[in-house]
Amino acid sequence: MNGYGRLFVGILAAFVLSWVALILVPLNQVGNLMPLEDQVTGDMNPPALSGLAQRGSKVYAANGCASCHTQQIRSESGGADIARQWGTRQTVARDYLHQSNPNLGAMRLGPDLANLGADRPDLNTNSGPKKKYDAASLHQLFYAPKSVSGSSHPSYSFLYEKREIKGIPSGMGLSLPVGFETEEGKEVIPSEDAKALVAYLLSLNRTYALPEAPVKP
Amino acid sequence: MNCSSDIQFEGCGEGNLDRSLQGPLSLLFLSATLWLVVSSFIAAIAFWQLKFPGFIDYQCAIQNPYFGWFFDLIHQGLNYGRAVAASKSILIYGWLVQGFLGVAIWLTGHLTQKSPCKAGSYFLLGAIALWNLGILVGVVGIFSGEASGFAGFDFPKYASAILFVAYAFIGLGIGMRFAMKRCTKSTPAEWYLLGAVFWFPWFFAVAYYFVFCKVVFGVMPALVHAWYIGGLEVLVLGSLAIAALYYWIPTLLGVALNRVHSAKGAFWFFAFLGAWTGVRHLVGGPIPAWMITSSVVAGVLLLIPAIMIANHQMVPLWSHWCKVKSNPVLWYLATGGISFVVWVSLEAFLSLRGVSAALRFSYFEMGVSAVLEYSFLSMVLFGSIYAILPKLTGKELPCCVTCCSKCQFWWGFCGIITYFTGTFCAGVFMGLGINFAPMAFVATKNLASPFFWLSVVGGAMVLFANLIFVKNVAATLLAACCNSNKEGCCS
C-alpha cells in the first residue's frame, strides 16, 4: 500500500470511529425508546401527536421558527429555564419520540416553547396568573403581532386569507382587537398551514413525569 | 515528503494547466462571489427585522392594488426565519463550500501536475453549473416554505440531492487525479485536502439519510444534524482552509514551514478529534450526557492540533514580516490562520458548562459563527482567490484590483471586529438577563440593544467589503476576457 492508500485508510477510520460512537451507539440508545404508561391515569407519555400537529411541525420548521425559539428545557444547573417557569423539569430524549423534526432550536430571541401548550405564566413578562394559551390568541399573534402588547414577533399574515363575507360569516374568522379589525364585510380565515401550526404549538406539553426526568413537587 | 515540494512546481507546464482550468474556475469563483453578496444582502434584511419586525409587512402592502402580490411574495420569502435559513445556506454552500472546492480543484491540479483534458474541463464546467443550479433550486425552495428546519442544512430534499450529485462529479475528479499521481509521497496540504474531499460526501450522506428519509423520529435527526455541522465546520471547511494555508504560505514566502516534521501528528490529531466536536452544539439538550461530555472534551483538545498547525504556518509569516506587509494576499491568509485558533478557543470556551448556561442561545453564538465563517474561512478564501486569479488569467492583477483588495481587507477586518464586539457584549447582557429569572423576558432584549447596533455597523462594513470583492473578481475576469492591457483597466 502506498502513501495515499494509508492516508485514505486513516481518513476513513477517523470518520467511521465518530460515526459508530456518535450515531450508531446512540441510535441503539435513544432510537429504541418507547412511550411509557402513567401508573395513575393510564395515559401514554409522551402522548401521540395528531396528524394536524405533525403537519404543523413541518410548518414550524419551514418558517424558521427555530431560529428564534428553542424547545428544550435544561436542568436547573444548566441555566434558568426552570426558574423562568418555561418547564417543570429537564426535557429528555423520550419527550421527542413522536416528533419527525424535534425543532430543538439554537437561539432564544424569543422564549422557549417546550411547554407552550401547558398552564404557564405569560411568556413575555414571565409573570401573571398561570393560564393556557388558546388558538385564538396564537392566531392573533401570527396575523397581527402589533396588537399584542410588548411583542416583537414578526407577522405571518401570509398564512391567513382575507375574504369577502358572502351571506352569513363562516364563524372561522379571527376576532381582532380594536384598531386592528378588518374592513366591513370581510373576514380573516386561517389557512390549513396556520391551523396546523397552532395545533402543533398547543400540543407542546412536557409536564408529565418520566422515570428519567421526575417532576419536582 | 520533499519529493513533490510545492515550490519546485513553478514553471513546469503550469500555463497549460491553468489554461485548461480557466473556464470552469472562472465560472466557479464568479458564482461563489455573487452568492456571497446575495447572502450578505439577505442577512442584512433578516437582521433589520430583528429591530423592525414589520418593515416588510404585508398589512401595509396589501393596500397597493397593483403590486400587492409582489409585496406579499417578498413578505413570505424574506420573513425573518426563512431569510436567516436562506442566507446561512447560501453562505455555506454557495460561497464557502463552492469557493473552497475551486481552491481544491486548483490545488489538485498543481499538486499532482495533471491538467484535465478538454472533455474533463467540460465535465467540470457541467458539475459546477449543476452545483449552482442546486443552490438556486434550494433557495427558491426555502423562500417558498420548504426548508428542512435544520440550520446549515436547510435546503429541501431535492436541492440537497442535486448538490450531492454535483459534488460527486467534482470529488471523484479530484480523487482520481491523486490516484493517478506517480509520486506517492505527500505534503501536508494534500492530507487536509484529500481528507476534506472524502469527509464531505460521507457526512453529507449520513445527514441526508437521517434528516430527509425519516427513518427515526425524535432527537436522532437533531443529533445527526449537530454532528454533521461539526464535521462540516472542522473537517471539511476547516481542513480545506488549512490545506490552502499549508500551500500558499511557503509558496508565496518562498521559505519552508516551521517545525513541519510534527505536521503528520497534528493532522491525525485534528482528524480524529474534529469528527467528535459537533455534538457540543447541544450542551444541556435532551441527549445522553456522555455524548456531550465527550464532544466538549474533543473540542477543548482540538486546541492542541490548532496551535501546532498555527505554529507551522504563522511563525514563518512572523519572521518574514516585511514580505507580509507588502503583499495583501498574505494579510488575508495571516488573519485567517490566526482566526482559526481564536475560533477553536471560542468554541471550546462556549461549550464549558458554566459558560454555556449563560451564553448559549444568545447573540454570542452569532458572533462565534461569524468568526468561523468570515474571519477564518472567508479570509483564507479571499486570499486564495486573489492568489489564484492572476495565475488563472495569466496576467498580473490589474493595479486597481490590488489597491481595492487592500481597501477590502481593512473594511472587512474592522467590520468583523466591530461585529464580534457587538455580538459578544449583546450576548453577554442578553444571556445574563435570560438567566436572571426575576427579569421579564422582553426586558433582556433592551439590555442587549445598544450593542446590537454596534454589530449592525460591523455587519454593514463587512457587506461593503464583500461588494468590493465582487467588483474585484468581476474586474479581473473581465480584463482577462477582453484581453485589454493593464493601463486600459486602470483608466
Residue B60 has pLDDT above 60, yes or no: no
Cβ–Cβ contact B216 with A under 8 A: yes
The pLDDT of residue B63 is 58
The pLDDT of residue B56 is 64
Helices (H), B275-398: 289-301, 303-319, 321-326, 328-351, 353-359, 363-370, 379-393
The pLDDT of residue B51 is 80
Handedness of CA B369, B371, B377, B381 (dihedral sign): positive
Q: What is the pLDDT of residues A139-179, one digit of tens each?
A: 999 988 888 877 788 888 888 888 888 888 877 888 888 88
What's the pLDDT band for B183 if we cut at 50, 70, 90? low
Q: What is the pLDDT of residues A2-12, one digit of tens each?
A: 678 888 999 99
Residue B57 has pLDDT above 80, yes or no: no
pLDDT (average), residues B110-117? 79
The pLDDT of residue B339 is 96
pLDDT (average), residues B434-447? 86
Distance separating alpha carbons of residues B205 and A86, to the nearest angstrom: 36
Superfamily of domain A49-203: Cytochrome c-like domain (1.10.760.10)
- Collapsing DSSP to helix, strand or coil, B19 comes out as helix
pLDDT (average), residues B440-460? 89
What's the pLDDT band for B58 if we cut at 50, 70, 90? low
Residue B251 has pLDDT above 80, yes or no: yes
Residue B61 has pLDDT above 70, yes or no: no
* A180 Cβ contact partners less than 8 Å away, ≥ 6 residues apart: A144, A146, A147
Domain borders along chain B are: 327-481
- Cβ-Cβ pairs closer than 8 A, A with B, add up to 243
Which residues partner with A45 through β-bridges? A36
The pLDDT of residue B53 is 75
The pLDDT of residue B15 is 62
The 8-class DSSP code of residue B371 comes to I
Cβ–Cβ contact B391 with A under 8 A: no
pTM for the model stands at: 0.93
* CA count, 13 A, side-chain hemisphere, A87: 29
The pLDDT of residue B236 is 96
**Which chain B residues are within 8 Å of A56, Cβ to Cβ?**
none
What's the pLDDT band for B483 if we cut at 50, 70, 90? low
The pLDDT of residue B267 is 95
Which residues partner with A82 through β-bridges? none
pLDDT (average), residues B263-269? 93
Helices (H), B144-156: none
Lowest mean pLDDT among A152-161, B61-70, B130-139, B266-275: B61-70
Domain borders along chain A are: 3-32, 49-203
The pLDDT of residue B11 is 37
Query: Who among A31, A124, A146 is closest to B441 (CB)?
Result: A124
Task: Test B198 with A162 for CB contact under 8 angstroms.
Answer: no
Handedness of CA B99, B103, B104, B108 (dihedral sign): positive
Distance separating alpha carbons of residues B254 and B149, to the nearest angstrom: 47
Torsion angle, alpha carbons of B79, B81, B82, B87, to 10: 110
Distance separating alpha carbons of residues B465 and B44, to the nearest angstrom: 14
User: Which residue type sits at B483?
Assistant: N
Residue B438 has pLDDT above 90, yes or no: no
Highest mean predicted confidence (pLDDT) among A38-42, B77-81, B134-138? B134-138
Task: Test A14 with B191 for CB contact under 8 angstroms.
Answer: no
The pLDDT of residue B259 is 79
- Model ipTM? 0.94
What's the pLDDT band for B97 if we cut at 50, 70, 90? very high
Query: Who among A31, A108, A154 is closest to B361 (CB)?
Result: A108
DSSP A16-35: HHHHIIIIIHHHHHHTT---
Cβ–Cβ contact A19 with B under 8 A: yes
Residue B491 has pLDDT above 60, yes or no: no
Q: What is the pLDDT of residues B207-239, one digit of tens each?
A: 999 999 888 888 999 999 999 999 999 999 999
Task: Test B291 with A26 for CB contact under 8 angstroms.
Answer: yes
Q: What is the pLDDT of residues B5-51, one digit of tens each?
A: 333 333 345 567 778 888 899 999 999 999 999 999 999 998 888 88
Residue B288 has pLDDT above 70, yes or no: yes
Q: Which of B262, B284, B369 is nearest to A78 (CA)?
A: B284
What's the pLDDT band for B301 if we cut at 50, 70, 90? very high
What's the pLDDT band for B177 if we cut at 50, 70, 90? confident
The pLDDT of residue B65 is 63
Cβ–Cβ contact A214 with B under 8 A: no
Q: Quote the percentage of chain B above a pLDDT of 90.
A: 62
Averaged pLDDT score across all residues of chain B: 88
The pLDDT of residue A165 is 85
B329 min Cα distance to partner chain A (Å): 30
What's the pLDDT band for B487 if we cut at 50, 70, 90? very low
Distance separating alpha carbons of residues B23 and B11, to the nearest angstrom: 21
Task: Test A30 with B59 for CB contact under 8 angstroms.
Answer: no
What's the pLDDT band for A72 if we cut at 50, 70, 90? very high
Q: Which of B110, B30, B138, B155 is nearest to B474 (CA)?
A: B30
Cβ–Cβ contact A4 with B under 8 A: yes
The pLDDT of residue B4 is 39
- A residues 81-100 closer than 8 Å to B (CB): 83-84, 90-93, 95-100
